[in-house]
């Protein structure tokens, strides 16, 4: 667009010299020309208006890249070719190796310029910034032969889909400190289509790899980029500390992109996830901490996690999930200012007998649900186990869950909290809720084995299991039926 506009004056001059006298010879031609000019300018004006004034945004053909580290490299310094065909694994590995020698001097930055940089999986190093320039795409090779196998995660005991080894991630890191992945909205594209197809056709013998997986690491920042079409979970921080995820766009098809969760904080503590747009083929976010007996033995909880200012969408699972793998325990999670739209479920806690562990001190505040089937859901019979070695008497403890300022419209079942005699749900609080429903009959606030309270009036009318308090916190009506069950999956 810029080129066309900037080169047009010379074309005009050229045309003008040749055609000017001829045109002037006829009044009609001049009149017609005038009309053409008027219509053309109207057209250009309107196009720019519609494009979001792209003409004013475009004049900078190259946005200077910020410098975060004392030493900065360009991926092309290592022989990479961004044509979408050349395999650049070696260039990435050389770059990372070079940066790994700079740790004591403040580390290094690797700029990935505009282009399509095809690569097999590679590892990051500490004190490294990976910067994806505008229009740069790191493309994952979609042939599993190039993907190294790794041992199962200790807290899962298995690959998630197959026993034994699992594929590593496209971008991987272990035992790192101080890693930044950022950019001017460049993209990491997992080309998951091939993987999803092979998975459905049962052609894979190992669990698919995530797009980005950082393990046993601390001080990680991932921001200002787009992640798309991961083979499996998109962004998987595992047993990490101090992780910030900010301003990401995470995309995968809403259907037929199996297990493409957006972000899976797994046995992590001190995490912030904010300002992201996530629309994927499974949970947008799923907080985890290991699977049954393996997770119990590993014993590393996920805790101190703040999630805020997100727009999320999931047609297969939920916007924000906790579990179902939670055997190391999950506590102190805050979810604030989240919009869940056109989705199957909004916020979901899922677990099962055999998991052990706990889910406690979880608060949801200022959530908006727009056209979702089920708004708030707690499910305690998510019976998916790694093997028969789990302890069926290992009941997870669920308590201290609060929901406040919950609003929405077009919700079929606003609340479905399904505890059981073995896994009762304790100390649940509702305050300030108004969710417009699409289903006018009974059973829209479904409960079983739930105790807790409602403060003030909420809509829809709460189930009888909960105590009622007024706004001042005075008990108005004590529940007599915390174990009553009114769950209906048919609506």
Ligand X SMILES: *[C@@H]1O[C@H](CO)[C@@H](O)[C@H](O)[C@H]1NC(C)=O
Question: Do residues 178 and 221 make contact, with C-beta atoms less than 8 angstroms apart?
Answer: no
> Alpha-carbon distance 464 to 483, whole Å?
10
Please identify, among the stretches 28-36, 101-109, 241-249, 410-418, the one whose residues bind ligand X according to the rule CB under 6 A. 241-249
| Nearer CB in complex with ligand X: 369/390 | 369
Please identify, among the stretches 27-35, 45-53, 166-174, 316-324, the one whose residues bind ligand X according to the rule CB under 6 A. 166-174
Residue with tokens 């994927």: 280
Whether the ω angle into residue 324 lies within 30 degrees of 0, i.e. cis, is: yes
Regarding 203 and contact with ligand X (CB under 6 A), the answer is yes
What tokens does 268 get?
A: 């992590």
Regarding 476 and contact with ligand X (CB under 6 A), the answer is no
User: Interaction with ligand X in 8-47: which residues (CB under 6 A)?
Assistant: none
What tokens does 260 get?
A: 């493409």
> Alpha-carbon distance 21 to 358, whole Å?
86
Q: Which residues pair with 484 in a beta bridge?
A: none
Identify each DSSP E strand in 175-329 by its residue range: 177-183, 187-189, 212-215, 218-223, 226-228, 235-238, 241-246, 249-251, 269-280, 285-287, 302-314, 318-323
> Alpha-carbon distance 176 to 216, whole Å?
7
The 3-state DSSP composition of the chain as helix, strand, coil percent (nearest 5) reads 20, 45, 40
Q: Which listed residue (86, 427, 434, 485) binds ligand X by CB under 6 A? A: 427
Q: Which listed residue (421, 442, 461, 475) binds ligand X by CB under 6 A? A: 421
| Nearer CB in complex with ligand X: 25/201 | 201
Question: Do residues 138 and 113 make contact, with C-beta atoms less than 8 angstroms apart?
Answer: no
What tokens does 292 get?
A: 């049954």
Q: Which listed residue (111, 217, 267, 317) binds ligand X by CB under 6 A? A: 111
**CB 123 to ligand X: min, Å:** 4
What tokens does 440 get?
A: 């006018």
Q: Which listed residue (244, 332, 371, 485) binds ligand X by CB under 6 A? A: 244
Q: Is 79 left (phi over 0), alpha (psi -120 to 50) or beta?
A: left
Q: Which listed residue (123, 194, 332, 371) binds ligand X by CB under 6 A? A: 123
Q: Which residue is nearest to ligand X (CB)?
A: 185
Please identify, among the stretches 284-292, 423-431, 455-463, 466-474, the one whose residues bind ligand X according to the rule CB under 6 A. 423-431
Q: Smallest Cα–Cα separation from 447: which of 396, 402, 487?
A: 487
For ligand X (CB under 6 A), the number of binding residues is 44
Regarding 207 and contact with ligand X (CB under 6 A), the answer is no
Please identify, among the stretches 2-10, 115-123, 372-380, 464-472, the one whose residues bind ligand X according to the rule CB under 6 A. 115-123
Give 189-214 as a DSSP string. Answer: E--HHHHHHHHHTT--SSBPPPSEEE
Q: Which listed residue (48, 223, 332, 371) binds ligand X by CB under 6 A? A: 223
Q: Which listed residue (135, 161, 274, 275) binds ligand X by CB under 6 A? A: 275
Q: Smallest Cα–Cα separation from 93: which of 73, 113, 114?
A: 73
Q: Which listed residue (48, 100, 242, 485) binds ligand X by CB under 6 A? A: 242
| Nearer CB in complex with ligand X: 111/289 | 111
**CB 339 to ligand X: min, Å:** 4
> Alpha-carbon distance 28 to 25, whole Å?
9
Mark whether 292 is an active-site residue: no
Q: Which listed residue (95, 132, 133, 406) binds ligand X by CB under 6 A? A: 133
> Alpha-carbon distance 252 to 368, whole Å?
22
Residue with tokens 């807790």: 452
User: Interaction with ligand X in 142-161: which residues (CB under 6 A)?
Assistant: 144, 148, 150
Q: Which burial class, exposed, middle or buried, applies to 57 when counting CB atoms under 10 A from its CB (0-12, 13-18, 19+)? A: exposed
Q: Which listed residue (135, 219, 274, 464) binds ligand X by CB under 6 A? A: 219
**CB 17 to ligand X: min, Å:** 37
Pattern of binders to ligand X over 179-198, x per CB under 6 A?
Answer: ---x-xx-------------
Q: Smallest Cα–Cα separation from 116: which of 196, 174, 188, 183?
A: 188
> Alpha-carbon distance 461 to 454, whole Å?
10
| Nearer CB in complex with ligand X: 243/293 | 243
Question: Do residues 117 and 111 make contact, with C-beta atoms less than 8 angstroms apart?
Answer: no
**CB 258 to ligand X: min, Å:** 16
**CB 324 to ligand X: min, Å:** 21
**Annotated catalytic residue, options 229, 264, 282, 283:** 282
Pattern of binders to ligand X over 372-411, x per CB under 6 A?
Answer: ----------------------------x-x---------
| Nearer CB in complex with ligand X: 293/482 | 482
**Applying CB under 6 A, which residues contact ligand X?**
65, 74, 76, 111, 113, 121-123, 133, 144, 148, 150, 168, 172, 174, 182, 184-185, 203-205, 219, 221, 223-224, 226, 242, 244, 247, 249, 275, 337, 339, 366, 368, 400, 402, 421, 424, 427, 429, 449, 482-483
Q: Which residues are catalytic?
A: 282
């Amino acid at each position: 667009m810029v080129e066309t506009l900037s080169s047009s004056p010379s074309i005009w001059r050229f045309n003008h010299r040749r055609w000017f006298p001829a045109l002037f010879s006829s009044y009609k031609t001049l009149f017609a020309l005038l009309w053409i000019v008027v219509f053309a300018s109207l057209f250009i004006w309107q196009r720019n208006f519609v494009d979001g004034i792209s003409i004013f945004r475009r004049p900078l053909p190259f946005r200077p890249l910020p410098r975060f580290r004392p030493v900065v490299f360009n991926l092309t310094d290592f022989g990479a070719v961004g044509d979408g065909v050349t395999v650049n694994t070696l260039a990435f590995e050389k770059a990372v190796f070079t940066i790994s020698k700079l740790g004591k001097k403040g580390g290094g930055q690797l700029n990935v310029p505009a282009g399509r940089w095809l690569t097999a999986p590679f590892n990051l190093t500490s004190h490294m910034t990976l910067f994806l320039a505008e229009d740069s795409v790191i493309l994952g090779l979609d042939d599993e032969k190039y993907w190294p196998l790794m041992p199962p995660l200790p807290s899962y005991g298995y690959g998630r889909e197959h026993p034994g080894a699992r594929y590593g991630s496209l971008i991987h890191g272990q035992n790192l400190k101080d890693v930044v992945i950022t950019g001017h909205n460049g993209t990491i594209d997992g080309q998951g289509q091939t993987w999803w197809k092979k998975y459905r056709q049962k052609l894979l013998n190992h669990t698919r790899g995530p797009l980005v997986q950082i393990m046993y690491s601390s001080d990680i920042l991932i921001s200002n980029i787009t992640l798309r079409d991961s083979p499996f979970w998109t962004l998987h921080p595992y047993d990490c500390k101090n992780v910030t995820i900010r301003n990401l766009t995470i995309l995968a098809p809403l259907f037929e992109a199996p297990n493409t969760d957006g972000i899976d904080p797994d046995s992590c503590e001190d995490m912030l996830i904010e300002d992201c747009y996530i629309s994927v083929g499974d949970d947008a976010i799923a907080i985890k901490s290991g699977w049954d007996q393996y997770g119990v033995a590993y014993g590393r909880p996920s805790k101190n996690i703040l999630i805020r200012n997100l727009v999320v969408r999931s047609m297969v699972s939920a916007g924000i999930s906790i579990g179902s793998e939670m055997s190391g325990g999950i506590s102190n999670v805050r979810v604030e200012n989240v919009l869940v739209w056109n989705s199957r479920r909004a916020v979901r806690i899922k677990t099962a007998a055999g998991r052990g562990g706990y889910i406690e001190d979880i608060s949801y505040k200022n959530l908006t649900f727009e056209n979702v089937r089920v708004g708030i859901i707690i499910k305690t019979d998510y019976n998916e186990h790694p093997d028969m070695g789990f302890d069926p008497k290992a009941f997870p403890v669920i308590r201290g869950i609060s929901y406040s300022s919950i609003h929405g419209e077009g919700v079929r079942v606003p609340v479905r909290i399904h505890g059981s005699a073995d896994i009762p749900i304790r100390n649940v609080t509702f305050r300030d809720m108004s969710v417009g429903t699409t289903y006018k009959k009974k059973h829209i606030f479904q409960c079983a084995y739930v105790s807790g309270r409602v403060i003030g009036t909420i809509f829809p009318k709460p189930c009888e299991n909960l105590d009622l308090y007024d706004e001042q916190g005075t008990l108005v009506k004590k529940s007599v039926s915390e174990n009553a069950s009114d769950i209906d999956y048919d609506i």
